[in-house]
Amino acid sequence: MDKICFLTAAALGQRYAAGDLSPVEVTERHLARIEALEPALNAFQLVDRDGALLAAGEATARWRRGAALSPLDGVPVTIKDNVDMRGLPTRNGSLTSSTAPAAGDAPVVARLREAGAVFLGKTTTPEFAWKGITDSPLKGFTRNPWDSGRSSGGSSGGAAAALAAGIGTIAHGNDAGGSIRIPASFCGVFGIKPTFGRVPHHPMEGVFATVNAGGPLARSVADAALALQVMARPDRRDWYALPQPSEDWLAGLRPCLRGLRLAYAPDLGEVEPDAEIRACVEQAIARLREAGAEVEEVGPVVPPLRPIFEDFWMAGFAHLLRGVPRERWDELDPGFRRIAEQGLDISAERLLAGEAARARLHRHFAELYERHDLLLTPTAPHVAPPAETVYHSPNYDRWRDGVAYTLPFNLTGQPAASIPCGVSAAGLPIGLQVVGPKYGERLILEACMAIEVMQEQAPHPQLLARLEAIGR
C-alpha cells in the first residue's frame, strides 16, 4: 500500500508545513495510482494530469512561503463529471453531451479551487446520474475496488471507487436519490448529503432541482467535514442556496453519542433489508448503546414511496430527455430512455401531487424528531450488486433494491450520511445511514465521528489485499 495516498487532509497539511512532503510529490503518487488501478476500476471520465501538476506546483510554492490558502491547499480531490470545471468538458455519462470545455466552474469547483485543492480529474457517473449503479453508454462499467465483479454504486460511483482505492483524499459527489450515500456504502467510505441548499449549485433547473444536494465523500469523517465547510461557502448564482453559515459552523467537532436519542428504522418505508445487512447494522446499534446512546426501534415510519413518487421521478427524467435532440435518442442508455419516455405524458396535476406528498413526508419525519435526535437505517438493503446489473429491472428494482432508504431524505431536504459499519461474509462493505433534521449536519458528523472510532482498521485489510492484487 502507498501509505501517502491514504493520508488524511490534516496529516497532509502537517507534512506540507513541516516541509518533508510536498503537494507535487503527493499528486505524482496519486497520478501513478490512477495509472496502475484505473484499467481495473474505470472510475475516471477524464484525468487532468497537466492541470493537477500545475496546481500542485503552485500549492507547493505557497506552503514553502507559509502562505497556504486553506487546510485543503495541495490536497488531491476528484470532481464528479456532472458539474462544470473550467477548461474541461462536462459529459454527464452521455454520448449525446457536448465535448466542448466548460467556460467556468460550478460553485463547488470554484470554492475548492479557491481553497487550493488539486483536481486529479472528473469521475464517472451513469447517464444524467439517473441510477444507483454506475455504467453508461459513454464510459462503460465502473467497478468496485473491493471486488471488480461488483458495482461501485451510483450515481457518484467513480468518486467512491477512486476514493476507496486510495485515489484522491476527498471526492465531490451529488445526491438526488442516494447518489452519495449508496456508493459510499458499497465502497466502504464515508459520504454526507447535506441539507438541501447547503452547498450552492449552478446551473440547476427542473424537477430534480429541489432534491439534489452536493457534498463530499472521504475516507474519514473529519476530512468530509473539512471539505463540506469549503463547499458550503456562498455563490450568488444559486437561487436555492441557504444563508451563508458562520465561518466556524463546523469548528471543534468531536465524537459524541452519549445521551443522544436515536431512532432505528430497519424497515423504513416498509422495505426489508437482507438478513446479513440487518445483522451487521444491529451489531453496530449494540455498540452505540454500549457507548451511551439511547436507541429505540421505531418501525417503518413512512409508507412505501413508489405509489406516491413514481410520477415525480419519471417526470424529472422526461425534462432531461426533452433537452436531447430527438434524432439522438437511440444513443441513450435504454433504461434511462424508457423511464424518461414514460414521463413525457405526466400531467402538471400529477406532478403537483408529488410535491404535496413531499410535504406530508416531511411531517412524518418532523414528528419523529420531536422525540429523537437522529434516525438510523441501513444505507442500502443489499451489498453491492454485480457490475452488469440491469437497474430498475425485475431483478433490481429502483424502489425495492436501490433507493429505498436514501430517497426519502432527498424529498424532504434533510441531511444524511453513510458510514461503514461492517463487512459481509463475501467481503463487501455495509453502510449505516445516519439522518438528522434539517440543518443538523453538525450533529450527524459528531455522531459519525464516534461511530468511526468503533470501526475496524481502515483501510480494511480485505480491501488492501484486493488493491494489491489488481495493482500488480
So which residues are the catalytic ones? 80, 155, 179
Q: How far apart are CA 238 and CA 318, in angstroms?
A: 23
The three cell numbers locating residue 352: 403537483
Vertex 223 angle, CA 124 and 423, to 5°: 70
Grid-cell match 497556504, residue found: 68
Residues 37 and 466: their CA atoms lie apart, in Å, by 11
Neighbours of 150 (CB within 10 A): 23
Distances (CA, A) of 312 to 82, 156, 181, 306, 329: 21, 22, 21, 10, 21
Domains and CATH numbers, the chain: 3-470 (3.90.1300.10)
Give the cell for residue 262: 436515536
d(CA 384, CA 203): 31
Per-residue model confidence as pLDDT tens for the chain (472 residues):
689 999 999 999 999 999 999 999 999 999 999 999 999 999 999 999 999 999 999 999 999 999 999 999 999 999 999 999 999 999 999 999 999 999 999 999 999 999 999 999 999 999 999 999 999 999 999 999 999 999 999 999 999 999 999 999 999 999 999 999 999 999 999 999 999 999 999 998 788 899 999 999 999 999 999 999 999 999 999 999 999 999 899 999 999 999 999 999 999 999 999 999 999 999 999 999 999 999 999 999 999 999 999 999 999 999 999 999 999 999 999 999 999 999 999 999 999 999 999 999 999 999 999 999 999 999 999 999 999 999 999 999 999 999 999 999 999 999 999 999 999 999 999 999 999 999 999 999 999 999 999 987 778 888 999 998 887 7
DSSP secondary structure of 31-50: HHHHHHHHHHH--EEEE-HH
Q: How many CB atoms lie within 10 A of CB 371?
A: 10
Cell 419519471 sits on residue: 314
User: Residue 308 has which C-alpha cell?
Assistant: 406516491
The closest of 71, 91, 70 to 80, measured between CA atoms, is 91
Distance between CA 376 and CA 42 in Å, rounded? 32
Q: Which of 197, 179, 181 is nearest to 237 (CA)?
A: 197
* Cβ neighbours of 416 (radius 10 Å): 32
Cα radius of gyration (the chain): 21
Question: What is the dihedral sign for C-alpha 231, 236, 240, 242?
Answer: positive
> What's this model's pTM, rounded to 2 decimal places?
0.98
